[in-house]
A and B are shown apart, each in its own frame.
Chain A
C-alpha cells in the first residue's frame, strides 16, 4: 500500500493544512461519497459521471470482485454470487431476516452474524460492505488527488449497537479512518439546515432501500439537537418490491422459483415501483428460465392497496418519536424527506397528512445524506474552526442487562444524549456466589428474549458472601459513534475485577487482521509496514495538534519549564518519525501524549470558563 507522505520537521507546522475528508452514505440500494471542495459539499462522481454506486458486489471464481453497475447488470444471471442489499444483513443472524425464502442466496448461519456462500467462499456482510467502501475510497482519492485523512460514514439512526459495530468494522477492513459514525437523518439535517438557515423543530423522514428512520431535531443557533429518534431497521423500499413480487407470483400462478427467476422478478418489481412514481400504470414483463412469459400490468390503486400497511408502518414510529420528544405534529416546522423511497407519491401524501404540511423535497433525497456527512467530515478533520456548529445526537434504543427471571433492567434509556456513561449496582442471588453472568441487551421490551442480545461476559472472583451482600457495579459507556463499552467491578471488598467487552456481533481485532490479510496479495502485504504507516500518521497528527495548542495557549497556560518539556517531546517524536522503528514511534507518541495530558486539561478548563463567562456577560446585557 502507498505510504502517506510526511514533510520535513519544521516544515509541517502549518496548523490549517487542508486534510482530505469525505462523507460516505453506505446505503442499502446505492452508496455515495461526497466531499467539501472550495467550501461546497459535492458528490464525487465515478469516471463515467455516475454519482451513485449501486450497493451490489459480485464475486467471481477467479477471486476477483466487481462492484456497482457492472455487478448489478449480472444480478439475474448470477444471483448467488451477486450480493445486493447486504446492509440488511449487517450485524444480523439468519433468524433475524424476514422474507428469507424470497432471497436468492445461500445463507450460512455463522456465530454472531450470518454469511453468504459465494463461488469465492463464504462472505460476511462486513466483507461485502468493505468492497463497496474500497471502491468509494478509491474514487475519492482519485478525484481529490491524495490519501484520505478520514471519513464520516452514515448509519440509520435506528441501527443498534451490533449494526453500528459491523459498519465500523467494514470501514476498518476498507482501510478507512472513521472520524465518526453519523446518523443518516442527522446528516440530512446538517445539509438541509445549513443551506436554509433553518431554526425550530424539524422532522427528518428517511425511507431508504432497507431501513426507515424518523428523527425529530431542534435547530437553533448552530446547534443540531436530536430530541428523539425512532424507526425500523428492517423496513424500506425493498419491502415494497417484495409486495409487488408476491403479487406477480399470485397473478402469474407461480410457486417455486429458481434463484435466477427470483432475482429477475425482484428486479422487475423494483422497476415497476419506480415507474409508478411517474406514471399511473407499469408493465412487468419477464421471460422465466422455464420458458414461461410473465406479462402483467400494475396500476397505481392496486399498488397502493398492496403497500398501504407498509406506509402505515412508518407512521407509528413517527407518532412514537413525537411523543418521546413531547411534541405534537403541529409544532413541527418542516419535514425533510430523505431516501429514494420517499419519491413514491403515496409516501409524500401520507407524511404530509400526518404532519399537516407539505413535506420538503427540494433536496435530492438520494444525495442529501452524503452531502451532510461530507460537511461534518470536513469539520471533524479540523479543516473548519470558526462558525462551527454542534451536533447533539442520541442513543436510539435503550441499553440494559438481564436480571433474574429473564427481565431487562435498563441502564441507559433511549434518546439519551451522546456520549454518556451510566453505572448501576447489582448483587448476588445465592449465598457464596463467586461469579456473575452479565448479559448486555438492547431494546425497549421488558423480556430479555424480545431484546437484541449484544454481549455476554462473566465477572469472576467475587469473594463468597451471603446473597445480596456483594455490590457489582456495571458501567455502560456509549461514545460519540453510539458504540457501547461495558465494564463490571466488584465494589464491596475493595477487590476489583474488571472486564471490558466488545459486542458479540463485532469482529475481533484478530478476525479483522485476518480479513485484511486475505484481502491483499499475501506476498505484498506487510503487516509491519502498515502498522508503521498508521503510527506515523497518528504521530503526525499529534505533533500538529500539539504545536497548534502551544501556539494558541502555550504562553498563557504553561510556565517556561513546562513549555520546554513539551517541546522536547515534540522534537523527540519528530525525530522518531524519521526512522523506521514502529516501537520507537509508539514510545515517543505515548510520551508526548502523557506529557501533554496536564496541558490539555488546563486548555479544556480554560475554554469552559470562557464559555461560561461569555454567558454571564450575556445575562448582564439583558
Chain B
C-alpha cells in the first residue's frame, strides 16, 4: 500500500544516507514514475486516477527532497529529530558571520561595478567551499553521526546557497 509513513528513502528502496548514489535515485524515480504517472491512467477508472495522483505527488516530493543536497541533509536530520532550520536554532560562529559580511561586500561591489568577472570569481569561491561542505556533511551524517554538528554545517551551507542564488540574480540585474 501507499504508506505515507514510509520515509523518502524507503520509497525508492535506498539506504538513508547523505552520500547518495544519485544515479540509482534517478533510476528508481523513473522506474516508479513510469508505473504510477497519471499519463498511464488517463483512460482508467476514478479510483486508479486518484491513486495515481497520490502516488506521483508523493514520489515527486520524495525525489525533489532527496536530489538536492541541502534538502536531503535537512530531511535526514529531521528523521533524527533535529529541526536544523527552526527559527530558534540559528546559532552561527562569529568567524563565519565575519566571513558572511566580507562576501556580501564583495557581492555589492561586483554589482555596483557591473563586473561579470567579479561575480564569477565570487561564485567560484563560494561554490568551491559549498562543495567541500558537502563532503563534510557526508562525514558528519553518515560516518560520525554527529547530528548537532551537521546541523550547524547545514546552516552555513544554506547561507552559501542563498548567496549563490543572489549572485545568479545579480547576473540578471546587470545584464
**B34 neighbours in A (Cβ, 8 Å):** 223, 388, 390, 611
Most chain A beta-carbon contacts within 10 A, residue among B12, B36, B48: B48
The contact of B48 among A417, A480, A545, by CB within 8 Å, is A545
Most chain A beta-carbon contacts within 10 A, residue among B27, B45, B60: B45
B37 interfacial by beta-carbon distance below 8 Å:
yes
**B48 neighbours in A (Cβ, 8 Å):** 545, 596, 600, 603-604
Provide the bound-state CA to CA distance between A293 and B32, in Å.
66
CB distance from A522 to the nearest CB of B (A): 33
A580 interfacial by beta-carbon distance below 8 Å:
no
**Is A619 touching B24 in the complex (CB atoms < 8 A)?**
yes
Check A542/B45 contact, CB under 8 A, given A320-B172, A480-B38.
yes
- Interface stretch among A131-139, A264-272, A379-387? A379-387
A615 interfacial by beta-carbon distance below 8 Å:
yes
**B60 neighbours in A (Cβ, 8 Å):** 416-420
CB distance from A609 to the nearest CB of B (A): 9
CB distance from B15 to the nearest CB of A (A): 13
B125 interfacial by beta-carbon distance below 8 Å:
no
Most chain B beta-carbon contacts within 10 A, residue among A381, A388, A421: A421
Provide the bound-state CA to CA distance between A604 and B33, in Å.
11
The contact of B175 among A221, A319, A605, A616, by CB within 8 Å, is A319
Provide the bound-state CA to CA distance between A600 and B27, in Å.
24
A477 interfacial by beta-carbon distance below 8 Å:
yes
Q: Which partner residue on chain B sits nearest A610 by CB separation?
A: B35
Provide the bound-state CA to CA distance between A610 and B35, in Å.
9
**A180 neighbours in B (Cβ, 8 Å):** 39, 42
Check A381/B1 contact, CB under 8 A, given A419-B56, A612-B31, A614-B31.
no
Check A608/B46 contact, CB under 8 A, given A421-B61, A479-B53.
no
Q: Which partner residue on chain B sits nearest A319 by CB separation?
A: B175
- Chain A 578-613, CB within 8 Å of chain B: the 1/0 string? 000000000000001110110011111101101110
**Is B24 touching A545 in the complex (CB atoms < 8 A)?**
no
**Is B42 touching A381 in the complex (CB atoms < 8 A)?**
yes
Check A604/B51 contact, CB under 8 A, given A421-B61, A477-B57, A612-B32.
yes
**Is A420 touching B57 in the complex (CB atoms < 8 A)?**
yes
**A407 neighbours in B (Cβ, 8 Å):** none
Provide the bound-state CA to CA distance between A113 and B43, in Å.
32
CB distance from B173 to the nearest CB of A (A): 12
Interface of B is mostly: helix
A198 interfacial by beta-carbon distance below 8 Å:
no
Provide the bound-state CA to CA distance between A221 and B34, in Å.
11
**A390 neighbours in B (Cβ, 8 Å):** 30, 33-34, 37, 39
**B32 neighbours in A (Cβ, 8 Å):** 608, 611-612
Check A601/B42 contact, CB under 8 A, given A223-B30, A608-B32.
no
B147 interfacial by beta-carbon distance below 8 Å:
no
Provide the bound-state CA to CA distance between A601 and B175, in Å.
52
Which residues of chain A in 409-423 are interfacial with respect to chain B, using CB atoms and an 8 Å cutoff? 416-422
Check A600/B51 contact, CB under 8 A, given A380-B43, A390-B37.
yes
**Is A604 touching B55 in the complex (CB atoms < 8 A)?**
yes
The contact of A616 among B2, B13, B64, by CB within 8 Å, is B13
**Is A597 touching B42 in the complex (CB atoms < 8 A)?**
no
B47 interfacial by beta-carbon distance below 8 Å:
yes
Provide the bound-state CA to CA distance between A614 and B35, in Å.
12
Check A604/B52 contact, CB under 8 A, given A380-B43, A611-B31, A614-B31.
yes
Provide the bound-state CA to CA distance between A597 and B60, in Å.
22
A279 interfacial by beta-carbon distance below 8 Å:
no
A144 interfacial by beta-carbon distance below 8 Å:
no
B108 interfacial by beta-carbon distance below 8 Å:
no
**B47 neighbours in A (Cβ, 8 Å):** 593-594, 596-597, 600-601
A435 interfacial by beta-carbon distance below 8 Å:
no
Which residues of chain B in 7-34 are interfacial with respect to chain A, using CB atoms and an 8 Å cutoff? 12-13, 24, 27-28, 30-34
- Chain B 77-113, CB within 8 Å of chain A: the 1/0 string? 0000000000000000000000000000000000000
Residues of B within 8 A of A (CB): 1-2, 12-13, 24, 27-28, 30-40, 42-48, 51-53, 55-57, 60-61, 63-64, 168, 171-172, 175
CB<8 Å pairs between A and B, sample of 5 = A179-B42, A392-B33, A416-B64, A479-B38, A604-B52
Cβ-closest 4 pairs across A and B: A382-B43, A380-B42, A611-B31, A607-B35
